[in-house]
Structure 1
Amino acid sequence: MITITLLSLIITLSLSTITLLLFTASRRKLRSPPGSIGLPFIGETFQLIAAYKTENPEPFIDSRVSKYGTVFTTHVFGERTVFSADAESNRFILQNEGRFFEASYPSSIANLVGKHSLLLMRGSLHRRMHSLTMSFANSTIIKDHLLVDIDRLVRLNLDNWTGRIFLMEEAKKITFELTLKQLLSIDPCEWTENLRKEYMLVIEGFFCIPIPFFSLTYRRAIQARKRVTEALHLVVRERRVEREKGVKKNDMLAALFDSDCDDVTFSDDEIVDFLVSLLVAGYDTTSTTMTLAVKFLTDTPSALAQLKEEHEEIRKRKGASVALEWDDYKSMPFTQCVVNETLRLSNIISGVFRRAMSDVKIKDYTISKGSKVFASLRAVHLGQDNFEDARVFNPWRWQKTSDLTNFMPFGGGPRRCPGYELARVALSVFLHHLITRFSWIPAEEDKLVFFPTTRTQKRYPIIVQRRNVVVE
């Protein structure tokens, strides 16, 4: 009897041990990325914001990568979030949009861009609207139509430059005017300048805690968004009336109206939200890249000298003609190196938010269904394992490599920024006219900060001096 009982006990313990081992092994296979979630609700949001308000926000990610690895868990903007600082994982996340992941941004951003924005669209509607946007920003359209407007608006703004200017402010004027021209066929005027100032307030609220009572900046952003949408609603209504009278323009708004003839009809609210999101994409990012390109070049005289040689050669070849043409743009190889390096080092788009649609295996971890994920493009671009002397401005690196595996400044997959080529052209045209028309020096020392968006702390004040100007 005792022997039977002992045998039963041994069998029971053995089965329990086997079950425990199997369960533990299963948990290892399904384990979540390690990390720290910080304080209740707030998480590590304040640590992230504090880091990005400095000239060097890298320690926020660097310290966690050092401790937990390139995929780790944190808690920011009110939600537990898995951060990926790994290039391969980021590509997997971006390329599996709609299959394993879907776009999911903090409510602070979602509330300000609007529920019908391209940023938040999903599925077939997003594919349709992304394709429509691409059709207004591809190489053929830029070559045949947009390059003329880009060149004209850049030169028009530079005509007014004298003495001390705030470069970031001037660059924002250029890109805002260009974006409005592309979207609504509206030329620069007092109305566009007033709208731009309101828009700046909207963008400042993107990365605040989304409680108006708690954040004055967020409250101002919500109020500014209301004024922006009211102004755009008025334009949409006026254009509908014009359209009924037979007046038709070749811009994004006209394309949205034309969709009424297909199987989709957009309300004014949907159109306005869509326009707001495109203004975000085309305005702040490109203007900041312009500013930082000039700052990096100013701080790297040898790069600036080589760039000047390239553009002086183009100017010499063109003779009396001032306006750039497509062939001129295609003859700027070192300019493209400067553009690439500026995009890599500045990381205007720090990363993208996604949400797991099912349990997903990444590396040795399982991202559980419903989890928020942040694919950090910045961490990859500044990773020493991905780029030699990664945190140094070195445009010549792009003369030595054609491998773009770890280079994703415009995102990737189905949500890759549809205006990526337009941004490159605008930056190249801007640099050409700046270099051939002006010399400059910094008016005072300025530094980079990265919150709420990448920018210089003092808007990069410079003193410009006009060089020889060729008049058409």
Structure 2
Amino acid sequence: MASFLSLLFFAVVFSVSLFLLRRSRYRRLRLPPGSLGLPFIGETLQLISAYKTENPEPFIDKRMNRYGPIFTTHVFGEPTVFSADPETNRFILLNEGKLFDCSYPGSISNLLGKHSLLLMKGSLHKRMHSLTMSFANSTIIKDHLLVDIDRLIRLNLDSWTDRVLLMEEAKKITFELTMKQLMSADPGEWTESLRKEYVMVIEGFFTLPLTFFSATYRRAIRARTKVAEALTLVVRERRNDDRPRSDMLGALMASGDNFSDEVIVDFMIALLVAGYETTSTIMTLAVKFLTETPLALAQLKEEHDQIRANKGHSEAAVEWCDYKSMAFTQCVVNETLRVANIISGIFRRTMTDINIKGYTIPKGWKVFASFRAVHMNPEHFKDARTFNPWRWQNNSEAANPGILYSPFGGGPRLCPGYELARVVLSVFLHRLITRFSWEPAEEDKLVFFPTTRTQKRYPIIVNRRERGPTRS
């Protein structure tokens, strides 16, 4: 017992000494102002608690008001510099692989897998990013994906009753679309079972990556194992099937890189998370913002009713020319992406000491480029926290979009599905508006920034604007 206490004492002394030595070095550098918070824990609990409320802005707002747009904190076990400065954010994005390395909290890294596109680096990331882009560019969407997008959205809307949990329905749509694109899988019991496991995986993203302390993280790890096992079976079956498939899995197997099952499975898990989680949240929030902005909803209805009238009947498929004619819809999409900020920012790690804006960020530190803080800053967007799609007409507030507006990131890690997400949201709004009217159910609501605890919310009461369902 005495020896155990001695070891524990020396471990504590060593850890505290190391902590103090690091702080001494940091004081000699001109670090961005801020606070590292408590030893080891830092300010992680404040960050997590902020994002489980209706308004997560105060974590950044409070520190920006005190320290300025670049400040130091300590989250997820590491000292981290937060940037709410658009020029600094652009500098971080454009120096990927030169001055900054991709790095995310352990919970996200462990659940996505080391071979996910989010964590790949160097030439492998470049090849896989290019491959992903080739399956989500405008030509592919126009010639191949649009028909599936329209069909799956209509089929899901056919099943709606008079009361709908919108977030849940949006998740079904985006998951089915992503499964179709990745592995040509049609909706069924298997895809729905897999989707339920995905929900638990995503719940573990913003938890401490310690199975002993976090029941949510334990459940997420178990769910991730089940998802990986299910996808591994699909990969092995496809290896024994000589039929060519025009999907992402087929492209991976035909690439000539001889990717292992593990690499392919990690890659697909991350793409499923990206396609499933972000787009469904954007769809839900677009409806919420429109419901709260009647003038915008009325103008959007006019645009889509005109498209349907031009086509002659409601069952006509949405075509590429219809999408390109949705001028006000694109203003709504832009503003939803700006206000919702589903990709709130990106984590990177410094590869060397970085001198920027008069500060030094030490080698090995994390940085977080916050797109959200830029989008919600009234210095950059007038009445920034108000949903106003008209601000995008004639690009009146998009004079420098590469710096001020970056809902899909930028640089070599620009989200490869940015155009696909815009098309899915536009087609969804077209079908929803031309088929239904709706109002929020009074007994529940969606918080401003949905978290894993609220994603099944925002029920709406719907009424059909047309007689009978449309079927492909």
Q: 2:254, 2:28 → 1: CA distance?
A: 51
Instruction: Give the superposition deviation at 1:29.
Output: 10
Amino acid at match of 2:250: A
Is 1:291 aligned with 2:284? yes
Amino acid at match of 1:395: P
Residue aligning to 1:4: none
Q: 1:161, 1:379 → 2: CA distance?
A: 36
Residue aligning to 1:307: 300
Instruction: Give the superposition deviation at 1:375.
Output: 0.5
Is 1:58 aligned with 2:54? no
Q: 2:57, 2:267 → 1: CA distance?
A: 33
Q: 1:443, 1:450 → 2: CA distance?
A: 18
Q: Is the contact between residue 446 and residue 458 of structure 1 (CA under 8 Å) also seen in structure 2?
A: no
Is 1:408 aligned with 2:402? no
Instruction: Give the superposition deviation at 1:401.
Output: 3.4
Residue aligning to 2:36: 37
Q: Deviations over 1:249-279 (max 9, x none)?
A: 100000100112xxx2200000000000101
More displaced 10-residue stretch of structure 1: 166-175 or 399-408: 399-408
Q: Is the contact between residue 165 and residue 457 of structure 2 (CA under 8 Å) also seen in structure 1?
A: yes
Instruction: Give the superposition deviation at 1:28.
Output: 10
Q: 1:226, 1:197 → 2: CA distance?
A: 13
Residue aligning to 1:436: 434
Q: Is the contact between residue 102 and residue 349 of structure 2 (CA under 8 Å) also seen in structure 1?
A: yes
Q: 1:342, 1:461 → 2: CA distance?
A: 19
Q: Deviations over 1:109-158 (max 9, x none)?
A: 00000011101000111001000000000000000000011000000100
Residue aligning to 1:255: 251
Q: Is the contact between residue 53 and residue 449 of structure 1 (CA under 8 Å) also seen in structure 2?
A: no
Residue aligning to 2:272: 279
Instruction: Give the superposition deviation at 1:30.
Output: 4.8
Instruction: Give the superposition deviation at 1:59.
Output: 1.1
Residue aligning to 2:380: 386
* SS across alignment from 2:461: strand
Q: Is the contact between residue 79 and residue 372 of structure 1 (CA under 8 Å) also seen in structure 2?
A: yes
Q: 1:351, 1:383 → 2: CA distance?
A: 14
Q: 2:44, 2:448 → 1: CA distance?
A: 17
**For 1:319, which of 286, 293, 312 is the aligned residue?**
312
Q: 1:118, 1:447 → 2: CA distance?
A: 30
Instruction: Give the superposition deviation at 1:366.
Output: 1.2
Residue aligning to 1:22: none
Aligned Cα root-mean-square deviation (Å):
1.5
* SS across alignment from 1:373: strand
Instruction: Give the superposition deviation at 1:304.
Output: 0.3
Instruction: Give the superposition deviation at 1:450.
Output: 3.8
Q: 1:28, 1:317 → 2: CA distance?
A: 67
Instruction: Give the superposition deviation at 1:456.
Output: 4.8
More displaced 10-residue stretch of structure 1: 399-408 or 150-159: 399-408
Q: 2:170, 2:30 → 1: CA distance?
A: 47
Within-5 A mapping of 1:369-380 = 369-380=363-374
Amino acid at match of 1:467: R
Q: 1:452, 1:39 → 2: CA distance?
A: 25
Amino acid at match of 2:369: A
Is 1:350 aligned with 2:344? yes
Residue aligning to 1:467: 465
More displaced 10-residue stretch of structure 1: 366-375 or 124-133: 366-375
Instruction: Give the superposition deviation at 1:322.
Output: 2.2
Amino acid at match of 1:194: S
Percent identity among equivalent residues?
72
Q: Is the contact between residue 29 and residue 364 of structure 1 (CA under 8 Å) also seen in structure 2?
A: no
Q: 2:127, 2:420 → 1: CA distance?
A: 20
Instruction: Give the superposition deviation at 1:174.
Output: 0.2
Q: Deviations over 1:275-319 (max 9, x none)?
A: 001011111000000000000000111100000000000000001
Is 1:193 aligned with 2:186? no
Q: 2:194, 2:164 → 1: CA distance?
A: 21
Q: Is the contact between residue 150 and residue 318 of structure 2 (CA under 8 Å) also seen in structure 1?
A: yes
* SS across alignment from 1:361: strand
Q: 1:241, 1:33 → 2: CA distance?
A: 56
Q: Is the contact between residue 137 and residue 418 of structure 1 (CA under 8 Å) also seen in structure 2?
A: yes
Is 1:328 aligned with 2:322? yes
Within-5 A mapping of 1:184-223 = 184-223=183-222
* SS across alignment from 2:224: helix
Residue aligning to 1:131: 130
Q: 1:344, 1:196 → 2: CA distance?
A: 27
Q: 1:180, 1:467 → 2: CA distance?
A: 30
* SS across alignment from 1:355: strand
The alpha-carbon distance between structure 1 residues 234 and 166, as it changes in their structure 2 partners (threshold 3 A), is same
Give unmatched runs, 5+ long, in structure 1: 1-26
Residue aligning to 2:172: 173
Residue aligning to 2:362: 368
Count of aligned pairs between the two proteins? 439
Residue aligning to 1:224: 223
Q: 1:451, 1:304 → 2: CA distance?
A: 22
The alpha-carbon distance between structure 1 residues 148 and 385, as it changes in their structure 2 partners (threshold 3 A), is same
Q: 1:425, 1:122 → 2: CA distance?
A: 29
Q: 1:301, 1:290 → 2: CA distance?
A: 17
Q: 2:364, 2:388 → 1: CA distance?
A: 40
Q: 2:104, 2:424 → 1: CA distance?
A: 28
Instruction: Give the superposition deviation at 1:78.
Output: 1.0
Q: 2:456, 2:187 → 1: CA distance?
A: 25
Q: Is the contact between residue 166 and residue 456 of structure 2 (CA under 8 Å) also seen in structure 1?
A: no
* SS across alignment from 1:186: coil
Q: 2:147, 2:49 → 1: CA distance?
A: 42
The alpha-carbon distance between structure 1 residues 53 and 319, as it changes in their structure 2 partners (threshold 3 A), is same
Q: 2:450, 2:390 → 1: CA distance?
A: 29
Q: 2:392, 2:49 → 1: CA distance?
A: 33
Q: Is the contact between residue 449 and residue 456 of structure 1 (CA under 8 Å) also seen in structure 2?
A: no
Residue aligning to 1:424: 422
Q: Is the contact between residue 206 and residue 452 of structure 1 (CA under 8 Å) also seen in structure 2?
A: no
* SS across alignment from 1:102: strand
Between structure 1 and structure 2, the one with the greater Rg is: 1
Q: Is the contact between residue 104 and residue 120 of structure 1 (CA under 8 Å) also seen in structure 2?
A: yes
The alpha-carbon distance between structure 1 residues 449 and 184, as it changes in their structure 2 partners (threshold 3 A), is same
More displaced 10-residue stretch of structure 1: 85-94 or 401-410: 401-410
Q: 2:456, 2:247 → 1: CA distance?
A: 35
The alpha-carbon distance between structure 1 residues 457 and 119, as it changes in their structure 2 partners (threshold 3 A), is closer
Residue aligning to 2:262: 269
Q: Deviations over 1:419-469 (max 9, x none)?
A: 00000000000000000000111112413254756x856521011111115
Q: 2:90, 2:328 → 1: CA distance?
A: 27
Q: 1:402, 1:375 → 2: CA distance?
A: 20
More displaced 10-residue stretch of structure 1: 364-373 or 149-158: 364-373
